[in-house]
Amino acid sequence: MTAIHQGARIYVAGHRGLIGSAVLRRLEQAGYRQLITCDRAGLDLTDSPTTNRFFDEYRPEYVILAAGRVGGIIENLRFPADFIMANLAIQGNVLNAAKRTGVRRLIFFASSCMYPRECPQPMAENALLTGQPESTSLSYAIAKLAGMQTCIANNLQEGIPRFIPLIPNSVYGPNDNFNPESGHVLAALVRRFIEAERQRLPDVTLWGTGRPRREFLFVEDLVDACLKLLSEDIGNLELPANLGSGIDYSIAELAEKISGLVGYKGKLRWDASKPDGSPQKLLDSGRMASWGWKANTCIDDGLRKTIDWYRSRIDPDN
């Protein structure tokens, strides 16, 4: 990351979350001295005047917009209005303030749930808006589509690719949300199987059929992409750009992997009365590959690091 001087003002929005904390950690390790953060208690990004005052005061040169309302199927089904309203407000306020104050480059995280539910696999960026997204995450998907298009529209209007919309697929790793009610599937499964192993439960019942296929991206691979995008010439990169590992697994295969790594010996059962979500979500990451990025962490290594991190938090003496 040589193109950004180490005194550059870099704002990481959502620095306590999975992606934001990983980006912040890497920037700190690289010696960047003017890293800007503020938690929700001190800065409500859904409030436009507050967001504008923050940008006026700190004048960030670079922004990683990792703040937003996120969650798994259960949360999306229960709070669709909260998902769309919060994300539209945060995105609009931050993008507007960034444009007004002359931010040099901003990374916006869209979502693979924006793609049509029935979509050719792997999903290429030109398939966006060719069909309706999966109904269980429709409100979140529409908010993310709006944010992505706002970035593209600003770039077109200004003639400069300042706003970079990325579409990562199922990011996971240390500092994920491991709550079974509100987290995404991988982190929720890690917690479920660790608890089942500790309690010696004879079986674990999981939502759906286990047949849907998902692609998982380790958070450090995403950080690699972000730092490269902030510091290098992106004039030949077509946006938006997918970010994926290139390999997908059924939820049943993922559950078997996690239960094996955790050491759980009980049975896995599936509740087919619960929704599966989209049948498959595998991204075509050719745009980023041709530009020089690829994911380097295999699923087993990423899972081990994630499991070890979670265990260190619930049982710090071991």
Catalytic residues, which ones?
140
The CA radius of gyration of the chain, in Å to the nearest whole number, is 19
Tokens coding 70: 């996120």
Which residue has tokens 């692609």?
A: 215
| Amino acid present at 281 | K
Burial of residue 159 (CB within 10 Å: 0-12, 13-18, 19+) is: exposed
Cα distance between residue 284 and residue 244, in whole Å: 7
Tokens coding 151: 């970035």
Backbone φ and ψ for 43, nearest 5 degrees, come out as -150, 115
In what helix (H) or strand (E) does residue 207 lie, and over which residues does it extend? strand 203-207
Backbone φ and ψ for 19, nearest 5 degrees, come out as -75, -50
Read off the DSSP letter of residue 30: T
Tokens coding 26: 């890497």
Cα distance between residue 147 and residue 151, in whole Å: 6
Cα distance between residue 210 and residue 187, in whole Å: 16
Cα angle 203, 204, 209 (rounded to 5 degrees) comes to: 120
Cα distance between residue 177 and residue 188, in whole Å: 8
Count the Cβ atoms, other than its own, within 10 Å of residue 171. 24
